[in-house]
Amino acid sequence: MDQETEFITLDGSLLEGGGQVLRNCVALSCLTNKPVRIINIRLKRDKPGLKPQHLSGLQLIRDIFKANLQGDKIGSKEILFHPSDVDQNKTFICDTKTAGSIALLIQIALPPLIFSAPPQKSKLPLPPRTQKAILKGGTNVALAPPIDFLIEVFKPIVQREFGFNFDINVIGRGYYPQGGGEVILSVDPLVNQSLKPLNMIDRGKIINIKGRVTIANSPKDVATKIISGVSQALSNASLPELNNIKPDIEINIEKITFGKGHDILLWAETSSGCIISGNAVSNRGQSPVDVGKIAAEELLRNIKHGGCVDEHLQDQLIIFMAIAEGKSQIVTGPISLHTRTAIHFAEIMSSAKFNIIKLESSESQQRVQEHSERLDDEYNVGLHMIECEGIGIKITR
């Protein structure tokens, strides 16, 4: 790597201090063509440095963008990443060889793949080839969004709001500790077009609640018990807006799977097109009824705050808001640390400008000081509006 290359040095231990910093900053490095040095990677975690999932994601992006990458080994606390040209001559394969989250691999790969069309060689205007990545690891694991969340919540929102097309095809599921799941990510790159700005400021009314219970190498009655837990939690909630709404929960018995497990995703759809979710995956010591209750309680928590997105989608939208063209606005509940982290590094890596407005009531809004100067307790309660003036990334021909 050229010693004269100027790198943006980023401290990976700041704020949330986990793998999200790595994923967002490397994705933004590709999008802005800015080389980065990330230090103190996951420094405050029990096992600091790169884990197999992080390493696999880095190597995937390295291959797609023909990047120079240094420090790519398990346990490394520092990397140097310098993107180059897009490689569009093959289907990319990324295998964590563990139960590392495939959803988090998609988190690092999707934003740069939107703008991964290589220069047009033909004089005839041809659509860019769909980019594909085969991702292997865990589809439904703890401490990461389940693959169903990306399909049922994340995908319809970002496609509709930002205006690009992609697909997530689940070939087989993988659970902890074996992993072995497989997903194909297909992305149609944009040319001569920027992402549209996000505009989600009206939550609307809840019109239905849907769900999917997935059981893999588990007794069939597990699904019934999970649904029972959901029913108990929802009936005890006493939320007027859920009166007369009966959840429609499907049961998915997986035949192509590695490992044993079960999980549930619940999602509420609103009259304005918002999708609010809650999920839970089986864990040692938890009964299936408890799994259902945990997912329902998370859904209820996300409904009660009145925002347009749930706690999982909130931070995942930040990078797209930063690279979109124009002013994006979204009303959310409490601002998560993951969201604050995503905003912090998006502003460093781009010229996008974020602002957070505390919504005191429907009649009165109080603009608070710049997000970098706020105290934690200003984020933890109430409604907020996140605004962003995006940089409007575009590939032109």
Domain count, the chain: 2
pLDDT of residue 375: 40
Q: Tell me, yes or no, whether 218 and 292 share the same domain.
A: yes
Q: Tell me, yes or no, whether 296 and 323 share the same domain.
A: no
Domain that holds residue 284: 206-304
pLDDT of residue 68: 95
pLDDT per residue as tens, the chain (397 positions):
555 678 999 999 999 999 999 999 999 999 999 999 999 999 999 899 999 999 999 999 999 999 999 999 999 999 999 998 887 667 899 999 999 999 999 999 999 999 988 766 655 566 678 899 999 999 999 889 999 999 999 999 999 999 999 999 999 999 988 889 999 999 999 999 999 999 999 999 999 999 999 998 888 899 999 999 999 999 999 888 898 899 999 999 987 777 788 999 999 999 999 999 999 999 877 899 999 999 999 999 999 999 999 999 999 999 999 999 999 999 999 999 999 999 999 999 999 999 999 996 443 334 333 443 444 556 667 899 999 999 999 988 6
Alpha helices in the chain (DSSP H): 19-32, 52-64, 102-114, 147-149, 155-162, 221-235, 288-304, 311-316, 318-323, 337-349
Q: Tell me, yes or no, whether 372 and 355 share the same domain.
A: yes
pLDDT of residue 336: 95
Q: Tell me, yes or no, whether 298 and 315 share the same domain.
A: no
Q: Tell me, yes or no, whether 315 and 359 share the same domain.
A: yes
Residue 341 located in a structural domain: yes
Residue 74 located in a structural domain: no
Give which of 75, 89, 133, 70 is closest to 107, Cα–Cα: 133
pLDDT of residue 32: 95
Residue 216 located in a structural domain: yes
Q: Tell me, yes or no, whether 291 and 215 share the same domain.
A: yes
Instruction: Label the pairing between strands 325-332 and 206-216.
Output: unpaired
pLDDT of residue 384: 96
For residue 359, CA distances in Å to 213, 302, 363 come to 36, 17, 9
Instruction: Label the pairing between strands 165-174 and 257-258.
Output: parallel
In the block, tokens 């933890």 appear at: 380
Residue 77 located in a structural domain: no
Q: Tell me, yes or no, whether 284 and 327 share the same domain.
A: no
Q: Tell me, yes or no, whether 366 and 318 share the same domain.
A: yes
Residue 236 located in a structural domain: yes
**CATH code, 244:** 3.30.360.20
pLDDT of residue 126: 61
Domain end position, chosen among 269, 304, 339: 304
Residue type, 48: P
Active-site residue set: 338
The DSSP-derived string for 137-180 is EBSS-TTS--HHHIIIIIHHHHHHHH--EEEEEEEEEEBTTTB-
Domain end position, chosen among 275, 304, 333: 304
Domain end position, chosen among 304, 338, 370: 304
Residue 108 located in a structural domain: no
Strand partners, 184: 134, 169
Residue 384 located in a structural domain: yes
Residue 194 located in a structural domain: no
In the block, tokens 């047009």 appear at: 120
